[in-house]
A = this chain, B = another copy of it.
């Protein structure tokens, strides 16, 4: 980059791009999916489920936490993680709004490819 330019874009675009970035790794997607399937808190050793080192998984968990998509509760020596329903809902709304923005209308035409 020599210099990051992401700050020069319209704020809404930046926010969406940041969300997409959080979702741009299979490990993080699998964690979210797993949390959704269990529909409950799980202990931190999700690493057994993923083909990655425990500390790497921990790193992904931290990213999801920073994005607010999951929460972690300390329980003795363990940590339990669960989805953050509020933030997940926000995410859903952001994605839906993106879909509405982008999708071509029915009347979409193009000289060459239409």
Contacts and interface: CB of A to CB of B under 8 A. Distances in A.
Contacts of A25: 6, 17
Nearest to A17: B26
B13 A112 contact: no
A32 to B, nearest CB: 5
A79 to B, nearest CB: 11
B40 A109 contact: yes
How many copies altogether?
Answer: 2
Report, as a range, how many residues of chain A touch the other chain: 35 or more
20 contacts: A6-B26, A8-B51, A9-B30, A13-B33, A16-B23, A16-B29, A17-B24, A17-B26, A17-B28, A20-B21, A24-B24, A32-B102, A40-B110, A73-B111, A73-B112, A80-B110, A82-B110, A83-B102, A89-B103, A92-B99
